[in-house]
Every structure is written in C-alpha cells, then in structure tokens.
C-alpha cells in the first residue's frame, strides 16, 4: 500500500516537472513569430493577441504544474512519515 502511494507521488512529481518544462518553453517562446519557430514545442504566434494568449496560457499552466508537483511532494512526505510510524510501532 505505501509503495503504491509513493509510486503515485513520484509519478505526480514527474508529471508536474514535465508540465512545468513545457509551460516554461511556451512562456519563453510566446513572442517568437511562427516563421522563426524551429522546435516542435514552439507556439505559432501570428498576432500580438496570439502572443499574449500563449504567454497567459503558459503562465497559468506553469502555476498549475507547480501546484501539482508540490501536492505530489506532500503525498510522498506523508507516505514516508506513515512508513516511519509503522516501523516505530513494529520495533
């Protein structure tokens, strides 16, 4: 049971970190015109409004994935504390 919870926590942290990386890339490339884009993650920005939308979406996603990673870290910490308590009771 504890191993499953730890695995879920680690998976959540990894998803959060991956999402933060993609969102940060979106923010960094928000003002890059579509013609200058050379990477698959780059946004296709046609107008300043598109750039603003990309920037806003990237910032919101960055915060969302950060919260996901923090919550998953708390899951791992709680599972670790529970495991420590269980070991103390058995010892």
Tell me 47's DSSP state.
S
- Which residues constitute the domain of residue 79? 2-90
Whether 60 and 88 have beta carbons less than 8 Å apart is answered as no
Count up the domains in the chain and report the number: 1
Distance CA 8, CA 13 (A): 9
Distance CA 63, CA 59 (A): 6
Whether 20 and 7 have beta carbons less than 8 Å apart is answered as no
64-74 pLDDT, tens digit per residue, is 999 999 999 99
Residue with tokens 């495991």: 83
16-53 pLDDT, tens digit per residue, is 999 999 999 999 988 776 555 555 555 555 678 888 89
Q: Mean pLDDT over all residues of the chain?
A: 85
């Amino acid at each position: 049971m504890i191993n499953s919870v730890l695995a879920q926590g680690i998976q959540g942290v990894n998803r959060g970190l991956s999402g933060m990386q993609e969102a940060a890339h979106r923010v960094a490339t928000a003002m890059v015109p579509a013609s200058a884009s050379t990477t698959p993650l780059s946004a296709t920005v046609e107008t300043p409004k598109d750039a603003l939308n990309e920037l806003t979406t990237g910032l919101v996603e960055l915060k969302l994935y950060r919260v996901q990673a923090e919550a998953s870290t708390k899951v791992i910490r709680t599972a670790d504390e529970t495991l420590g308590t269980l070991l103390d009771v058995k010892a």
